[in-house]
Structures are given as C-alpha cells and as structure tokens.
Amino acid sequence: MEVLSRILKKTEEGGFIQGFHVGLVNSTSIRVSHLLFADDTILICDASREQILSIRLVLTCFQVFTGLKVIVGKSEIVPIGEVRNIQSLANILQCRVGSLPMIYLGMPLGFLYKTASIWNPILERMEKKLSSWKRLYLSKGGRLTLLKSTFSSLPTLFGTHSKEFLVGFFS
C-alpha cells in the first residue's frame, strides 16, 4: 500500500488528480486525495474524465509494479453532489456506481452526523469490545471519555461540495 500511496502523491503533485482541502496549517490548506486502511483505499478527486483516466493509470501501474490486483467488482465510485456523467466515469474505471449515505468499514458516511440512530450500532460494538472486567473498572465518565476520544480520531467524510466531486472505494 506504500507503493500505491507514493504513486498517488506523485500523481497529485503533478496536478493529474485533486483531492479536497482540509483545514488550514500555516495559512495553507492540506489536500487529501487518498486514504488507506489495510487493503481498502478511498480515492478522492474531481468528477472529470481526465482525473478518472489518471486514477485508472495509477491503478494499472500499481498492479504492474506489485503484482497485486485491484478487484474492480468490489469497487465503486460514489458521487458527492450531482454528477451528470457518473456512469461513463464508472465505465472508465470498470466499477459500479454507489451512493450516499452508506456504511464503509463500519462507519456511516453521508448521514446527518447528529442522527442518534446511526451511531447506536457503533456504540454497541464498542461496548461489546470492552470486556466485562474492563467495564467494571471504568466509571461512566471514563467510558464517555473513551468513546469521545475514539470518535474524534475516526476519519469520516461528511458535507457537500458545490462542484462535482467523486469518492472511489477500491478493494
């Protein structure tokens, strides 16, 4: 995955793909074009034919360099906002079209984050992971602090964008 990350960074530095801006650091924003987790990858770019072709080239190079195969049957392209030519872009990558809201790696994406019902399954899983002896030694405030710190570190993607934008989920 380090190879894929480096190829994507070079592709972004060359201006072939663009991610989205996050916050400000020293008066400049950070641009995120990809997120990697184990063998799953999220690629973020504008909804343009040129950027999708660049992503296809990156994935092809990755397969050639590493001998690993991207399973396009399990991959999908998800529009954020209105994307008029989504099917033709999906055809370039030979993947299916998904939609928001969705669950990705157990996390809700595209939901209204204040809706309590979407967080209930996550809270239940976290409580199950805390074995019974650990629960006994954590106060209610301690459990709340643990939950808050865990949620604050989870990467989530919410919001809408004024221009056409795509998120690709690749396995």
Q: What is the pTM of this model?
A: 0.66
Cβ contacts of residue 38 below 8 Å, gap of 6+?
A: 1
Domains of the chain by residue range: 2-111+156-170, 114-155
**pLDDT tens figures, 103-157:** 777 777 777 766 777 777 777 777 777 665 566 677 778 777 777 766 665 544 3
Question: What are the angstrom distances between the C-alpha of 157 and each of 4, 44, 112, 113?
Answer: 21, 11, 11, 10
Please name which of 150, 108, 110 lies closest in space to residue 126, comparing C-alpha atoms.
Answer: 150
**pLDDT tens figures, 16-32:** 998 887 776 667 777 88
The token duo for 100 is 């928001």
Contact 130, 145 (CB under 8 A): no
Q: Select the more confidently predicted residue: 117 or 45.
A: 45
